[in-house]
């Protein structure tokens, strides 16, 4: 899979599985459980644009992300890392980046964006869970995973988009966003925050 590459031509199927356990904070604290991150918000939207294609400007995607951040009680400038849906399709990758540009505005250059599908392939029904785990590890460990397999970045990538090309980046990550978008513009976004024991 080659998300964001000028010569990309569609997704590569992968195989995998992932599971997350969500637990109330007080319950986890009482039993002394390790808390990797907090799930603080989520949202869904639908493009209602085309049977298989996303809206070219990412209208539904930005709605999903905005509503997820609103659900979390966070502003867009709180986001440090985004695990992009980025399936390596010519239209989908760019529409998602346009949505991220719309969402993040002037914050776009300081946010690490990566496509973990470049390493795992598209895990289909498992993609959202596995990529949420990638976000949780990014928040816990302060490491933005890379986007690999990009030889020539697409000329349509919005200026300033930091796609974490080739190597992971160590940096403070307090808030991570995970995008899971489906055929026809079925969009879901989850928000994870670093756990601080206060």
Sequence ranges of the domains in the chain: 40-193
- Residue 64: enclosing H or E segment and its boundaries? helix 59-72
Tell me the average pLDDT across 60-70: 98
Residue-wise pLDDT for 6-20, tens only, equals 999 988 999 999 999
What CATH number labels 40-193? 3.40.47.10
Q: Please give the pLDDT value at position 30.
A: 96
157, 36 in Cβ contact below 8 A? no
123, 130 in Cβ contact below 8 A? yes
Residue-wise pLDDT for 153-186, tens only, equals 999 999 999 999 999 999 999 999 999 998 777 8
User: Which pTM was predicted?
Assistant: 0.96
Strands annotated E in 30-93: 38-46, 81-83
């Amino acid at each position: 899979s080659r998300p964001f590459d000028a010569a990309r031509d569609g997704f590569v199927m992968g195989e995998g599985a992932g599971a997350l356990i969500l637990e109330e904070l007080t319950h986890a604290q009482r039993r002394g459980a390790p808390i990797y991150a907090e799930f603080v918000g989520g949202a869904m939207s639908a493009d209602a644009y085309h049977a298989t294609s996303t809206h070219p400007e990412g209208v539904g995607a930005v709605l999903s992300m905005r509503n997820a951040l609103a659900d979390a009680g966070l502003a867009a400038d709180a986001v440090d890392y985004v695990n992009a849906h980025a399936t390596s399709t010519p239209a989908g990758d760019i529409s998602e980046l346009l949505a991220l540009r719309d969402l993040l505005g002037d914050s776009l250059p300081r946010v690490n964006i990566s496509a973990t599908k470049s390493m795992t392939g598209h895990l289909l029904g498992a993609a959202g869970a596995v990529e949420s785990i990638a976000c949780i590890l990014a928040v816990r460990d302060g490491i933005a995973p890379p986007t690999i397999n990009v030889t020539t970045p697409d000329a349509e990538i919005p200026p300033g988009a930091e796609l974490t090309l080739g190597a992971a980046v160590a940096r403070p990550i307090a808030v991570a966003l995970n995008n899971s978008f489906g055929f026809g513009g079925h969009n879901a976004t989850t928000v994870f925050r670093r756990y601080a024991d206060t």
